[in-house]
């Protein structure tokens, strides 16, 4: 039996998306910029997808820009806004950002920008008052992750965004982990820019979007990363990946339809697994609990066992989990996220993440608990 519990790293492309993408590749392969029938058909596929993605976050479709994924969207925001300014200014990020925000911010800092990294509490949460205090007259952007990838903690996005809106500062959120797991409505939430990525909600890898609020973000608030043919309203040049974009659109439509029931189902499975593992004294949960946590997300550290060792043992047993962030799990550095949350080097190195998804069932949960108990009993017997 094989069980995939690493949906935070990527999710399997759903069959409906594969079928649609195959059809589009067969019959809608025209260049969307071409003026003839082939081009028009591709344009129609892209515009349909734009509506579907917009609907998922209740956005004006005009504000949806297709990109190659979360990393590009995040980079586009930080680097694009920075390049709009002649001299270095000030930006605010949290200390629990994904590297797709963290590293562009670090790059800008090396080039004279001032970067404030907001601290988080033991659960990984940013305190809105800290954000209010950090703003300066020359703050041009605040970027705070909507839900943290390693520990599943959901940030108080509404409060954080409102502070920025009151101060007339652009607010970006990396919602790559949140989209498809929780409802995000950019009409009611004070969000100016939002990154999302298809492969986290059963679309394919290499495609995503940046939402740019057309009302609050002036047309030229950010300079495009990629210049060329002027596709995507000039924000992202390059012939669009029509099939991948169509797949993203369908994944978004299905995610919207299923969001409520599927999130509730996953939260129930997650809580059941937490309960089943609660009798293991050395396995300590990390991150927020309850409604402030992504519904499909569990994270722990073991007091004595290296996270990568546990990942390998689970893999031998046919269960895929990850240690720390999957995006950086090739390195042997302890999770920087756990460190800033106040955990020790050993605790950070021993952290693991289990992220549930569509294929996981009640029976899986019982089996996973059994396997974890067995592995840990065996380790303790060594
Ligand atoms: C929070 C977050 N932001 C950005 C990314 C990068 O997204 P992509 O893989 O689409 O480039 C990830 C991927 O794991 C993520 O978890």
Percent of the chain's residues with pLDDT above 70: 97
Q: Ligand 1 mean position to 231 CA, how many Å?
A: 23
DSSP single-letter state for residue 332: -
Residue 187 clears pLDDT 60, i.e. is over it: yes
Mark whether 327 is an active-site residue: yes
Atom of ligand 1 nearest to the CA of 147: 1
Q: Both tokens of residue 370?
A: 């059994």
The ligand 1 site (C-beta within 6 Å) comprises 69-71, 74, 98, 100, 145, 149, 174, 176-177, 197, 208, 327
For residues 250-262, one letter each, b for 16 or more C-beta atoms within 10 angstroms of the residue's C-beta and e for the rest, the string is bbbbbbbeebeeb
Q: Which H or E run contains 280? A: none
| SS3 (DSSP) at 64 | strand
How far, in Å, CA of 313 to CA of 377, rounded? 12
For the chain, what is the total number of helices (H) and then of strands (E)? 11, 12
Higher pLDDT, 330 or 147: 147
Q: Ligand 1 mean position to 33 CA, how many Å?
A: 29
Q: Ligand 1 mean position to 8 CA, how many Å?
A: 9
Q: Ligand 1 mean position to 103 CA, how many Å?
A: 13
Residue 164 clears pLDDT 50, i.e. is over it: yes
- Which listed residue (223, 327, 339, 340) is catalytic? 327
- List, edge to edge, every strand of the sheet that includes 351-355: 283-285, 297-302, 351-355
Burial of 216 (0-12, 13-18, 19+ CB in 10 A): middle
Q: Whose CA is nearest to atom 5 of ligand 1?
A: 70
Q: Ligand 1 mean position to 66 CA, how many Å?
A: 15
Q: Ligand 1 mean position to 341 CA, how many Å?
A: 20
**For range 113-136, the mean pLDDT:** 98
How far, in Å, CA of 82 to CA of 96, rounded? 21
Q: Which of 71, 77, 124 to mutate to test the pocket of ligand 1 (most atoms within 8 A of CB)?
A: 71
Lowest mean pLDDT among 39-43, 218-222, 226-230, 310-314: 218-222
The per-residue pLDDT for 326 is 44
The per-residue pLDDT for 382 is 57
- List, edge to edge, every strand of the sheet that includes 64-67: 64-67, 208-212, 193-197, 170-174, 139-143, 90-94, 114-118
Residue 297 clears pLDDT 80, i.e. is over it: yes
**For range 254-276, the mean pLDDT:** 98
Residue ranges and CATH numbers for the domains of the chain are 3-10+259-376 (3.90.1150.10), 15-253 (3.40.640.10)
Atom of ligand 1 nearest to the CA of 10: 14
Residue 329 clears pLDDT 60, i.e. is over it: no
The per-residue pLDDT for 379 is 79
Q: Whose CA is nearest to atom 4 of ligand 1?
A: 70
Percent of the chain's residues with pLDDT above 90: 92
Q: Which of 6, 69, 181, 329 to mutate to test the pocket of ligand 1 (most atoms within 8 A of CB)?
A: 69
CB 299 within 8 A of CB 111: no
Residue 220 clears pLDDT 70, i.e. is over it: no
The per-residue pLDDT for 219 is 62
How far, in Å, CA of 6 to CA of 108, rounded? 32
Nearest to 184 by CA among 296, 53, 298, 314: 53
CB 275 within 8 A of CB 75: no
The per-residue pLDDT for 328 is 47
Nearest to 245 by CA among 234, 235, 257, 232: 232
Atom of ligand 1 nearest to the CA of 74: 4
pLDDT digits (tens, 9 = 90+) for 334-370: 889 999 999 999 999 999 999 999 999 999 999 999 9
pLDDT band, very low/low/confident/very high, at 291 (cuts 50, 70, 90): confident
Atom of ligand 1 nearest to the CA of 206: 10
Q: How many CB atoms lie within 10 A of CB 207?
A: 25
pLDDT band, very low/low/confident/very high, at 327 (cuts 50, 70, 90): very low
Residue 216 clears pLDDT 90, i.e. is over it: no
Q: Both tokens of residue 239?
A: 């012939």
Residue 21 clears pLDDT 50, i.e. is over it: yes
pLDDT digits (tens, 9 = 90+) for 233-243: 999 999 999 99
Rg (CA), the chain: 21
The per-residue pLDDT for 324 is 72
């Amino acid at each position: 039996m094989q069980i995939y519990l690493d949906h935070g790293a990527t999710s399997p492309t759903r069959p409906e998306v594969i079928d649609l993408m195959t059809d589009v590749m067969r019959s809608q392969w025209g260049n969307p910029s071409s003026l003839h029938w082939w081009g028009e058909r591709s344009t129609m596929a892209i515009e349909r997808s734009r509506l579907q993605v917009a609907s998922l976050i209740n956005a004006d479709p005009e504000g949806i820009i297709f990109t190659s994924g979360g990393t590009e969207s995040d980079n586009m925001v930080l680097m694009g806004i920075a390049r709009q300014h002649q001299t270095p200014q000030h930006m605010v990020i949290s200390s629990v950002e994904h590297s797709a925000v963290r590293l562009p911010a670090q790059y800008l800092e090396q080039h004279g920008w001032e970067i404030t990294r907001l601290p988080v509490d033991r659960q990984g949460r940013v305190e809105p008052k800290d954000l209010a205090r950090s703003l300066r007259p020359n703050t041009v952007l605040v970027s705070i992750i909507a839900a943290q990838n390693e520990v599943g903690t959901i940030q108080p996005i509404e409060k954080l965004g409102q502070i920025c809106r009151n101060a007339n500062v652009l607010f970006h959120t990396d919602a790559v982990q949140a989209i498809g797991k929780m409802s995000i409505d950019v009409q009611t939430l004070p969000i100016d820019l939002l990154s999302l990525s298809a492969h986290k909600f059963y679309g394919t890898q290499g495609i995503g979007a940046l939402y740019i609020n057309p009302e609050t973000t002036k047309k030229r608030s950010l300079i495009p990363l990629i210049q060329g043919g002027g596709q995507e309203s000039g924000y992202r040049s390059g012939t669009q990946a029509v099939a991948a974009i169509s797949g993203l659109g369908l994944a978004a439509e299905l995610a919207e339809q299923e969001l409520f029931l599927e999130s509730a189902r996953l939260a129930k499975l997650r809580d059941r697994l937490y309960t089943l593992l609660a009798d293991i004294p050395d396995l300590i949960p990390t991150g927020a609990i309850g409604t402030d946590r992504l519904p499909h997300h569990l994270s722990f550290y073991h007091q004595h066992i290296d996270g990568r060792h546990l990942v390998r043992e689970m893999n031998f047993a046919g269960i895929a989990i990850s240690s720390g962030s999957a995006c950086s799990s090739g390195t042997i550095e302890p999770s920087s996220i756990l460190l800033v949350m106040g955990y020790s080097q050993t605790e950070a190195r021993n952290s693991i993440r289990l992220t549930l998804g569509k294929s996981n069932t009640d029976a899986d949960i019982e089996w996973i608990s059994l396997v974890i108990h067995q592995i840990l009993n065996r380790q303790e017997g060594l």
